[in-house]
Structure 1
Amino acid sequence: MRTFAIGDIHGGLKALIQVLNKLEVKDDDTLIFVGDYVDGWSESAQVIQFLVELSEKINCVFIKGNHDVWCEEWLKNSDVNSTWYMHGGKETIDSYEGFSESEKQIHLQFFENMPLYYIDDKNRLFLHAGFTSMHGVEKEVFKTTFYFDRTLWEMALTMDKGIDEDSVIYPNRLKHYKEIYIGHTPTINFNEDMPMHAVNVWNIDTGAAFTGKLSAINIDTKAIFQSENLPALYPNEKGRNKH
């Protein structure tokens, strides 16, 4: 039994298929997606349809990201968030052309059923962005933190890796989990096109929304699997131009 964590897809169905083919997914594998399935490239609706069907065959966990929250609101009540529209929402709306209302309702239910975080049986935490409570995710007051926070990753990056977990200055929020897997902040912002590891945090968003790749990681072996750069897969599209 293998478990893979998969980074932010952002409408890049071709990249998702490439990665899954490299994983050679088996029936007893578990796939944990850290959110942001939509907004960016032209196949957001098609990504959701693919994932709905995939979950009928393979054990999958779908974490909700901030872009998924915006898409959910649009599917629910036609609310077009202006920030969302400028950061991939227009492409997502366009991708739903030709989808029936009943199909959209299935996608809405898919979004509504997504958890904001997941903790596995080895105390490994998966969420889209981060959390701020020193008492762990269960004590987080503002749920939007789970899909908007960047301070968890910023803190992990700035920590001296030589600090022992028993040190009085070791951050309490990191002590609750064996490992933490996130997306949301593209590693290409730090000139890295591979998943990044700092303290016990793994950032697996390698910039698929922009010029980077889609990545998956075997959370036991730490083997990494990647697609081609997304602009190469969608040569006639621009993708998103801001991180």
Structure 2
Amino acid sequence: MKDRTLIIGDIHGGLRAISQIFERAAVTQNDTLIFLGDYMDGWSESPQVLDFLIELEKSYNCIFLRGNHDELALHWLQNNTDNPMWLKNGGISTVLAYQSISEETKQKHIDFLSKLNNYHLDNYNRLFLHAGFTNLKGVTMEHFVKLLYWDRTLWETALSLDPNLPTTSIFYPKRLNLYKEIYIGHTPVTQINETVPVNKANIWNMDTGAAYKGSLSILDIESKEFWQSDPVYTLYPEEKGRN
């Protein structure tokens, strides 16, 4: 099997789903793995997900991007201060999960989360980030860094775009012409009644709703073949997740 670049969508504490997609995609140490963020918040195994990723990096070529939930969880781990919005959107599962985690392990997780990348741009001008960007000159000129893992306007623009509009048109969104392809998570495709990775314009949305009723997905960047876990809620029948 030739070397692949594999993109992994939002995990949200679903360690059991990671195991499934790795097996179904036959992931090997020859593959490059790009994780689009949101490792935390949702299902009960957020600490175990981070343990898995930290160990994975020791023998696999991994690129870990920052999601908004990773930043929120990091803030809680560092400051032990509650954020009501975060708690209502998956944070409570993280708080409960860390009740049995040692201080030493917490510090390892803080170190990991602190070093996440806001975006990755490869040699083929393919961009990877959790959410989006607003600057018409691209991610390197984004004035508000948090938008890289909070913005939804990039995806909304792609969804609303006339598919027949030429990329050379003066009306074609400038942001979409900056990169060959853009891979994001953050906004579940289940919001548009989809269950698999969705391509609009040159954007691929990999958030297939693992935090809710959807599956976790992994995609081969060249072939666009993808593999999915079972719907993650079925792997945690005793939990509610963020449903």
Which bracket does the TM-score occupy, shorter chain normalised? over 0.9
Query: d(CA) in 2 for partners of 1:240 and 1:102?
Result: 28
Q: 2:19 — aligned with what?
A: 17
SS of the residue 2:238 aligns to: coil
SS of the residue 2:145 aligns to: coil
Q: Residue type matched to 1:173 in 2?
A: R
Query: d(CA) in 1 for partners of 2:238 and 2:28?
Result: 33
Q: Percent identity?
A: 51
Q: Residue type matched to 1:69 in 2?
A: E
Q: Deviations over 1:38-96 (max 9, x none)?
A: 10011111111111101111111111011000111111121221111111111011112
Moved more, 205-214 or 76-85: 76-85
Q: 2:214 — aligned with what?
A: 212
Q: Is the 8 A contact 1:46 1:95 kept in 2?
A: no
Q: Does 1:41 align with 2:9?
A: no
Q: Shift in Å at residue 164 of structure 1?
A: 1.6
Query: d(CA) in 1 for partners of 2:222 and 2:163?
Result: 21
Q: What does residue range 35-114 of structure 1 map to in structure 2 within 5 Å?
A: 35-114=37-116
Q: 2:140 — aligned with what?
A: 138
SS of the residue 1:205 aligns to: coil
Q: Residue type matched to 2:93 in 1?
A: E
Q: 1:160 — aligned with what?
A: 162
Q: Residue type matched to 2:51 in 1?
A: Q
Query: d(CA) in 1 for partners of 2:183 and 2:10?
Result: 12
Q: Is the 8 A contact 1:5 1:217 kept in 2?
A: yes
Q: Is the 8 A contact 1:128 1:182 kept in 2?
A: yes
Q: Deviations over 1:117-155 (max 9, x none)?
A: 111111110011100111000111111111111110010
Q: Residue type matched to 1:228 in 2?
A: D
Q: 1:147 — aligned with what?
A: 149
Q: Shift in Å at residue 97 of structure 1?
A: 2.5
Q: Shift in Å at residue 206 of structure 1?
A: 0.4
Q: Residue type matched to 1:80 in 2?
A: D
Moved more, 78-87 or 126-135: 78-87
Query: d(CA) in 1 for partners of 2:8 and 2:200?
Result: 18
- Over the residues paired in the alignment, what is the CA RMSD in angstroms? 0.8
Aligned residues: 241
Q: 1:230 — aligned with what?
A: 232
Q: Is the 8 A contact 1:181 1:203 kept in 2?
A: yes
Q: Deviations over 1:151-204 (max 9, x none)?
A: 100100111122221111111111111000000100111110001100000001
Q: Shift in Å at residue 208 of structure 1?
A: 0.3
Q: Is the 8 A contact 1:213 1:230 kept in 2?
A: yes
Query: d(CA) in 2 for partners of 1:228 and 1:21?
Result: 12
Query: d(CA) in 1 for partners of 2:61 and 2:218?
Result: 16
Q: 2:200 — aligned with what?
A: 198
> Which TM-score applies when normalising by structure 2?
0.97
SS of the residue 1:157 aligns to: helix
Q: Residue type matched to 2:64 in 1?
A: F
Q: Shift in Å at residue 98 of structure 1?
A: 2.3
List 4+ stretches of structure 1 deviating above 4 A: none
> Which TM-score applies when normalising by structure 1?
0.97
Q: Residue type matched to 2:21 in 1?
A: V
Q: Shift in Å at residue 234 of structure 1?
A: 0.7
In structure 1, the gaps of 5 or more residues are none
Q: 1:170 — aligned with what?
A: 172
